[in-house]
């Protein structure tokens, strides 16, 4: 059954990792597991730090 997107926003790789880990690996499909594997390998900071960095970039450089 297809799901309907309610809201769309860009997220950082550490945020993706946090979201997918909160769902639980046993409940993920193959694409979500592959995304979690990628996020685990390539995220260099935790989600809290990445959120702060994004906020700082948006404020300092008037992005979005």
Query: pLDDT for 19-50, tens place per residue?
Result: 999 999 999 999 999 999 999 999 999 999 99
Spatial distance between the Cα atoms of 54 and 32, rounded to a whole number of angstroms: 24
pLDDT value for 13: 97
Instruction: Kindly state the tokens that stand for 30.
Output: 């193959």
Question: Binning pLDDT at 50, 70 and 90, where does residue 63 land?
Answer: confident
pLDDT value for 5: 87
Query: Phi first, then psi: what are they for 34, rounded to 5°?
Result: -65, -40
Write down the domain spans for the chain.
Answer: 13-61
Question: Binning pLDDT at 50, 70 and 90, where does residue 1 land?
Answer: low
Most confident of 6-15, 30-39, 54-63: 30-39
């Amino acid at each position: 059954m297809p799901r309907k997107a309610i809201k769309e926003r860009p997220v950082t790789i550490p945020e993706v990792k946090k979201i997918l880990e909160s769902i639980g690996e046993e409940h993920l499909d193959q694409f979500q597991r592959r995304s979690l594997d990628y996020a685990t390998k390539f995220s260099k900071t935790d989600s809290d730090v990445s959120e702060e960095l994004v906020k700082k970039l948006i404020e300092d450089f008037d992005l979005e």
